[in-house]
Amino acid sequence: MNRLIGVERILISLLILTLLVLPISGSNVDPSGELEQIRSYSRIYEFDYVSWTASALARKLIQGGLNSERYLTEVGKHNLVLEYLDLSSRANQLEGELTNLLTDPGQENRVELERDLRAELGEKNSQRKSLAPYVEQILQDQINTALVDLGMSVGGQLLPPVLYRSEPNSYALIVSPRDEIRQSANLMLVRGLDLDQIISLEENIEKNPDLSALVVGIGGVGLYPSMIIESPNLDWLVHVISHEWTHNYLTIRPLGAFYGASPELTTINETVADLSADEIQRRVFQLFYPEFLPTEPEINPSESLLETELEPEISPQVQIPLEEPPFDFREQMHITRLEVDRLLSEGSITEAETYMESRRGLFWENGYYIRKLNQAYFAFHGSYAADPGGAADEEGADLGSQLRMLKAAAPSYRDFMRQVAWKWRLEQFEKLFESVSSK
């Protein structure tokens, strides 16, 4: 009991600290006036962090009294999470059907069909919302258990514990200079913006000829409790919760405290968060959802031998057409980023923007419907270098590859996290990378 009281005191202290810090950080004025110019257009759409955090705190305190572990077995918790995800998936499907119904000019029996769709959608959303607090508590407990299993606790307790609140789709405004890829602003916006409002906001900011703007959908925000966007995808959900928890973990340690000190440290923070989330997600699935783990392919040695030793007899007159390799989004985006960086470094801003628009057409043709590809797009997505070939995986720095190599060389996930969390300068990481590459 004393241990539980101590944990609650830690949580409340952290949350109160968040409430105190948010208003201060939000009141900073950019000396150049650029941020204030941007906010003159975005202020009416900006998200209220303080009110949301207070509301999330109240919800977490209520959830703490649910004690779902007293009433549900592990199998029951597992099934409740999957039931919730099925409800979310069906609600998403119904919303899509309703949108299509309302926009189809040739639709017959519209009134009757709309009534039935809205009735079922309302029922599914009501059921989903009633289960949401329990599912949040279950997933928090499962991820906390996985982290303890990974050796991240001190005296059996995590600092901070995993806390999150799910929310509908949310957006952030990203602004970058046109002559380089860099975040001049990253402002979270209120939920429920329509496309006309989004485009109008971007165009108003881009009246400044030196700025590039983009409103992007976000998966989560590293507040405490974290804000996580609702999804019926368990794989994605656990990964994003774990990613945002890692930011919470790093924030009270030097690496996270220096998150925005340089573009390189921002990339390191985001990449570490993704690598961490991969490890946590894998352990959660091993412990609680083993049926969703990828299965290893079974290889029959005799069949393998036949395949390698026996070559088919092909007549030289018969030409077998070669299949085109599948479109690799990350590789093509990496190529795009490198060329944009080159053009901007030469001062060829218009050429870079023309090139980005032509590449957007290529992505669109291959099923990647990017609404807008500009400097702000890369300023946002370029901070994530956890996967090979990503936009931020730039030649020269190649921080993504180096961090992956550093993690692979670490004895454990715990050792990797403790190794990186207490570094706050690029040169410290460079020494780490050198020590690993020299082995």
pLDDT digits (tens, 9 = 90+) for 172-210: 999 999 999 998 999 999 877 888 898 999 999 999 999
Query: What pLDDT was estimated at residue 287?
Result: 97
Extract the tokens encoding 104: 């189809």
Terminal CA-CA length for the chain: 48
Residue 18, pLDDT above cutoff 60: no
Residue 283, pLDDT above cutoff 50: yes
Where do we find the tokens 């009433």? 71
Q: Which residue has the higher pLDDT, 407 or 195?
A: 407
Please report the beta strands in 193-262, taking only residues with DSSP state E, as ranges in sequence order. Answer: 211-218, 220-221, 226-229
Residue 400, pLDDT above cutoff 60: yes
Mean pLDDT is lowest, of 14-28, 72-86, 230-244, 402-416, for 14-28
Backbone angles phi, psi at 300, to 5 degrees: -85, 115
This prediction has a pTM of 0.74
Residue 26, pLDDT above cutoff 70: no
Strand order from edge to edge, sheet including 211-218: 185-189, 170-177, 211-218
**Mean pLDDT, rounded, for 260-289:** 93
Backbone angles phi, psi at 210, to 5 degrees: -95, 0
**Mean pLDDT, rounded, for 207-216:** 94
Residue 152, pLDDT above cutoff 90: yes
Q: Would you place residue 381 in the very low, low, confident or very high pLDDT band (cuts 50, 70, 90)?
A: confident
- Cis bond before residue 225 (omega within 30° of 0): yes
Query: What pLDDT was estimated at residue 396?
Result: 36
Extract the tokens encoding 392: 């931020």
Query: What pLDDT was estimated at residue 133?
Result: 87
**Could you tell me how far CA 310 lies from the centroid of its own chain?**
46
Query: What pLDDT was estimated at residue 330?
Result: 84
Which residue, 190, 213, 195, is CA-closest to 203? 213
Q: Would you place residue 322 in the very low, low, confident or very high pLDDT band (cuts 50, 70, 90)?
A: low
Q: Of the spans 89-98, 201-210, 311-320, which averages the highest pLDDT?
A: 201-210
**Mean pLDDT, rounded, for 44-57:** 85
Q: What percent of the chain has pLDDT over 70?
A: 79
Backbone angles phi, psi at 432, to 5 degrees: -60, -45
Q: What is the mean pLDDT of the chain?
A: 82
**Mean pLDDT, rounded, for 343-350:** 96
**Mean pLDDT, rounded, for 7-35:** 48
Where do we find the tokens 């329990």? 134
Query: What pLDDT was estimated at residue 369?
Result: 82
Q: What is the pLDDT of residues 115-134, one digit of tens each?
A: 999 999 999 989 998 898 88
Buried residues in 179-195 as b, exposed as e (16+ CB within 10 A): eebebbbbbbbeeebee
What residue spans define the domains of the chain? Answer: 329-437
Residue 388, pLDDT above cutoff 50: no
**Mean pLDDT, rounded, for 367-383:** 88
